[in-house]
Structure 1
Amino acid sequence: MIRKAQEADADIIEGILRDDEAALGRLYKLHFPTVLFFVQSNSGTEDDAKDIFQEAVIVFYEKLKAGQLELNCQIKTYLYSICRRLWLKRLSRSSRFSSGLVEDTEAELTPVEEETDQAEENELKFSAMGSALEKLGEPCKTLLEDFYIRSMGMPEITEKFGYTNADSAKNQKYKCLMRLKKLFFSDYNGLS
């Protein structure tokens, strides 16, 4: 998964350096949804997200073309960090937040390097968790997905999987969770 993202990033960078407009289109298609979600989750509109994303792409583009871009993370992480900073600055300057939620945001901003390190760490964790879940096998995978993702209760799981009672289902869920945890740490320690 990370390798595909690195290949996609390399293609986008090559395209931009060749002045290929399709590369910018792919950049927008791949990474705008994350920024849109962030901005809308933080009192913004789609137009706000477009403005912020456009500013971040301009920064990225100009630094790349000038040969001043030292990219130590994925493009997605870099753009998200810029967009997050720009949006929080805009929120702190606007009067939308009179409740004090975003007061002194600029002083509290994490340096981009720390933010990108954290985002890369999270990507590693998500990758390891996805891999561990795939290795877990059935019925554990479905049981955990039903409980944690689909929010099914123990009575439903008991019936679906044919356990004798809810306690048996809870016991099986616990065993599956422990197996998943073991697989996760095995994969995660192998990636980092």
Structure 2
Amino acid sequence: MAYYFDELIVAEIRNKNEVALRELYKSHYPMVLNLIRSNNGTEQEAKDVYQEAVIAFYERVQQEGFVLTCKISTYLYAVCRRLWLKRLGEKKRYHGNIEETETFLGIEEEMETVEENEMKFERMRESLSGLGEPCRSILEDFYIRDLSMEAISTKFGYTNADNAKNQKYKCLQRLKKLFFATYKEDPS
């Protein structure tokens, strides 16, 4: 599910869709703000670093042949981390090399958390793909495409929004079962 969203964002950014760019900017900024603030930075410095990273990402996406090999959040986090460590070095608040400082600043733990979340998202995506129709489409329409229950009701031929809502609930329960079944099989 998360990779599908990332692929949509990349495709829309390639088409120079400003709404997609704003969504990208909004959705990952809190992660970067936390990174910078917890490592001797200010909110303004976080905004500057993030702006620079988003511009770099935008330019990379526009390059022919660019393929995103990780989640957008991972890509942006890595770019912001490097930019921030470079700025710390320029301000004489950082002495040493980037790899040593990653452990010192707690970045290693944050990256582990990001990786754990990515694994959960991957499991969720796998569970969603194993869910079958119409459940998968109903959940994607509601949670990813942000369709109203009325629109979903019409699309799938339910008599009213309440019936569609009940179906969405049943689909969520099935998705939870699938997710936790795979989670128990592979708790890593």
Instruction: Tell me if both proteins adopt one fold, taking TM over 0.5 as the criterion.
Output: yes
Equivalent of 2:183 in 172, 187, 190: 187
**Which residue of structure 1 lines up, in the alignment, with residue 60 of structure 2?**
63
Equivalent of 2:29 in 20, 29, 32: 32
Unaligned runs of 5+ in 2: 103-107, 125-179
1:46 has 2:40 as partner: no
CA distance in 2: counterparts of 1:127 and 1:70, whole angstroms: 20
**Which residue of structure 1 lines up, in the alignment, with residue 98 of structure 2?**
106
Q: Deviations over 1:72-100 (max 9, x none)?
A: 110011000100111011112213x3xxx
1:123 has 2:120 as partner: no
CA shift, 1:118, in A, is 5.1
CA distance in 2: counterparts of 1:124 and 1:188, whole angstroms: 17
CA distance in 1: counterparts of 2:183 and 2:39, whole angstroms: 34
Q: Deviations over 1:26-55 (max 9, x none)?
A: 001110110011101111111111111111
CA distance in 2: counterparts of 1:72 and 1:188, whole angstroms: 27
Runs (4+) off by over 2 Å: 67-70, 105-110, 117-121, 124-128, 188-192
Distance 1:124 1:9, change over 3 A: closer
Q: Which gives a bigger RCO, structure 1 or 2 (Cα 8 Å, sep 6+)?
A: 2
CA shift, 1:9, in A, is 0.9
- Percent sequence identity over matched residues? 41
1:76 has 2:73 as partner: yes
Alignment size in residue pairs: 128
Cα root mean square deviation, aligned:
3.5
**Which residue of structure 2 lines up, in the alignment, with residue 151 of structure 1?**
none
CA contact (8 A) 1:57 1:79 kept: yes
SS at the partner of 1:104?
coil
CA distance in 1: counterparts of 2:118 and 2:7, whole angstroms: 19
CA shift, 1:24, in A, is 0.7
**Which letter maps to 2:183?**
D
Distance 1:13 1:104, change over 3 A: same
Unaligned runs of 5+ in 1: 131-183
**Which residue of structure 2 lines up, in the alignment, with residue 170 of structure 1?**
none
CA contact (8 A) 1:39 1:48 kept: yes
**Which residue of structure 2 lines up, in the alignment, with residue 23 of structure 1?**
20
Q: Which structure has the bigger radius of gyration?
A: 1
**Which letter maps to 2:4?**
E
Distance 1:10 1:70, change over 3 A: closer
